[in-house]
Amino acid sequence: MIKLGVIFGGESVEHEVSIISAVQAMNKLDAEKYEVIPIYITKDREWYTGDSLKDIETYQDLDLLKRYCSNVVLYFKKGRYVLQSKGFFKRIVKDIDMVFPIVHGTNVEDGVLQGYLRSIGIPFVGSDVAASAVSQDKIFQKHIFANSGLPITNFIWFFDSEYNDDSNAIIKKIEKLKYPVIIKPATLGSSVGIAVANNRDELVKAIEDAIVYDNKILVEEVVENLMEVNISVLGNYQNMYLSEIEQVMTDNDLLTFEDKYIGNSKKVGTSSKGMASASRKIPADIDKKLREEVEDIASRAFKELNSSGVVRIDFLIDKKNKKVYINEINSCPGSLAFYLWEPIGKKYSELLDDMINTAIKDYKNRTNKIHSFESNILRGFSGSKGLKNTKLK
Ligand SMILES: Nc1ncnc2c1ncn2[C@@H]1O[C@H](COP(=O)(O)OP(=O)(O)O)[C@@H](O)[C@H]1O
Ligand SMILES: [Mg+2]
């Protein structure tokens, strides 16, 4: 039995979506193989554990949650990974063998949490630090995709301070692109702070809005005759599997936060289920050639970033010219994209098993490599004298 700590929540605009994804997954994990230990990070960065965190209703009253769950830290203690209670009397609440982060957005999905897990050495599911960080930054992705010859839209990017210092210069640079353009904060998700501009006035307004959210801003050309399709990739660089392709349907110009997470109330009803509730068509209505193109680009992007676990890669297609652009990669997609695997015969619980098995391989791959040396270079170091002749570079 693997003691599996499922980490979710965190200080992110996608906090609630993460709770939904995690509760869904915790209820699908095979109880014969895993002891599931929920680890919930509140918006103010406190970590809690307790069985009631497997139940979505627990999150309706945060005061009650805090009273009935244990406030803990995860750390390495004498060869064990433990959740230890905080406060004066410390006790070990749980042992953990492996962590399954089901987190969305900044501070958690973006390599920050993964970095902590790496630093204490615990095995974990999903992409490692670099792949997670790049996947959360739309500008890094553009550079890597462009460098790998993957098709992307024309773009420019800038820092908020560059705009504040000389907005005219930035606008001039942007206007080398063709209107309409779309303005995006580099590291947010869920369409937060994103807007389309058809002219300079709209551009200025959109930039000023986006700057509130991020210090790096991306501006790219809008894909006309837009069709959006997504595909999921499972595995790691050694073994990759491709899911069914979905077509995302929306009445609005943009797929907004509401489309994605609240769902189209007319069609979907009450509960929000992350990406699983946006209106979608599975399989996507595309011909064989486009499908193969999407599959090929997706596997190349996955490998280029050295992603792991399950990702969802989103594409923009110009229906008229049949031109495919890779838009972004999500290192921990909403609902873990399970609904793209079920149509090809992979049950959600099998998908979770595959992710965990991949994590075990990743961990072995990592621990097979040399990370430190026996010799201690500090042994010959004699206080401040040792530094005397070293020059600062
Ligand atoms: N270049 C583009 N052309 C047309 N529509 C776009 C473009 N980029 C994004 N969009 C629209 O905006 C939505 C959100 O943008 P996206 O880059 O996916 O950010 P998010 O991280 O918020 O999902 C997309 O799903 C798509 O509908
Ligand atoms: Mg998107």
Q: At what angle do helices 138-147 and 288-304 cross, to 10 degrees?
A: 110
Question: Strand runs (DSSP E) across the chain, as ranges?
Answer: 2-9, 34-41, 47-49, 70-77, 80-85, 92-95, 98-101, 155-159, 181-185, 195-197, 216-221, 226-235, 240-248, 280-281, 309-318, 323-330
Return phi, psi of residue 37, to 5°. -115, 105
Establish whether residue 260 lines the binding site of ligand 1, counting it when its CB lies within 6 angstroms of any ligand atom.
no
Q: What is the pTM of this model?
A: 0.90
Contact 138, 187 (CB under 8 A): yes
Contact 40, 48 (CB under 8 A): yes
277: its two tokens: 């509730």
Q: How far apart are CA 196 and CA 206, in angstroms?
A: 7
Task: Give the CATH fold of the 226-362 domain.
Answer: D-amino Acid Aminotransferase; Chain A, domain 1 (3.30.470)
Does residue 271 carry a pLDDT above 80? Answer: no
Q: How far apart are CA 225 and CA 85, in angstroms?
A: 55
Does residue 389 carry a pLDDT above 70? Answer: no
pLDDT number for residue 368:
86
2-124 against 226-362: fold identical: no
Identify which ligand lies nearest to the alpha carbon of 327: 1
Contact 214, 245 (CB under 8 A): no
pLDDT number for residue 251:
59
Contact 220, 181 (CB under 8 A): yes
Count how many residues are written for the chain.
Answer: 393
Nearest CA-CA partner of 145 in 333, 322, 311, 298: 298
* Residue 255 Cα to ligand 1 middle (Å): 7
Whether omega before 180 lies within 30 degrees of 0, making that bond cis, reads yes
Residue 254 — very low, low, confident or very high, per pLDDT cuts 50/70/90? Answer: low
pLDDT number for residue 27:
97
pLDDT number for residue 136:
94
Q: What is the DSSP string of 306-319?
A: T--EEEEEEEEEET
Task: Give the CATH fold of the 2-124 domain.
Answer: Rossmann fold (3.40.50)
Establish whether residue 228 lines the binding site of ligand 1, counting it when its CB lies within 6 angstroms of any ligand atom.
yes
Establish whether residue 58 lines the binding site of ligand 1, counting it when its CB lies within 6 angstroms of any ligand atom.
no
Residue 273 — very low, low, confident or very high, per pLDDT cuts 50/70/90? Answer: very low
Return phi, psi of residue 121, to 5°. 90, 5
* Residue 61: Cβ-neighbour burial (10 angstroms; 0-12, 13-18, 19+): exposed
* Residue 309 Cα to ligand 2 middle (Å): 19
Q: How far apart are CA 148 and CA 342, in angstroms?
A: 31
Mutate to test the pocket of ligand 1, among 17, 154, 191 (most ligand atoms within 8 A of CB): 191
As a CATH number, domain 154-221 is 3.30.1490.20
pLDDT number for residue 106:
83
Q: Which residue has the higher pLDDT, 4 or 377?
A: 4
pLDDT (tens digit per residue) in 56-92: 999 999 999 999 999 999 999 999 999 999 988 889 9
Q: How far apart are CA 166 and CA 186, in angstroms?
A: 20
Contact 3, 37 (CB under 8 A): yes
pLDDT (tens digit per residue) in 190-230: 777 899 999 999 999 999 999 999 999 999 999 999 999 99
Contact 303, 240 (CB under 8 A): yes
Q: How far apart are CA 28 and CA 376, in angstroms?
A: 47
pLDDT (tens digit per residue) in 326-377: 999 999 999 999 999 999 999 999 999 999 999 999 999 998 887 776 776 6
Does residue 264 carry a pLDDT above 60? Answer: no
Does residue 282 carry a pLDDT above 60? Answer: yes
Nearest CA-CA partner of 80 in 111, 110, 122: 122
pLDDT (tens digit per residue) in 160-200: 999 999 999 999 999 999 999 999 999 986 777 899 999 99
* Residue 237 Cα to ligand 1 middle (Å): 27
Domain ranges of the chain: 2-124, 154-221, 226-362
Does residue 263 carry a pLDDT above 80? Answer: no
Does residue 267 carry a pLDDT above 50? Answer: no
pLDDT number for residue 192:
77
Identify which ligand lies nearest to the alpha carbon of 13: 1
pLDDT number for residue 272:
38
Nearest CA-CA partner of 302 in 284, 322, 328: 328
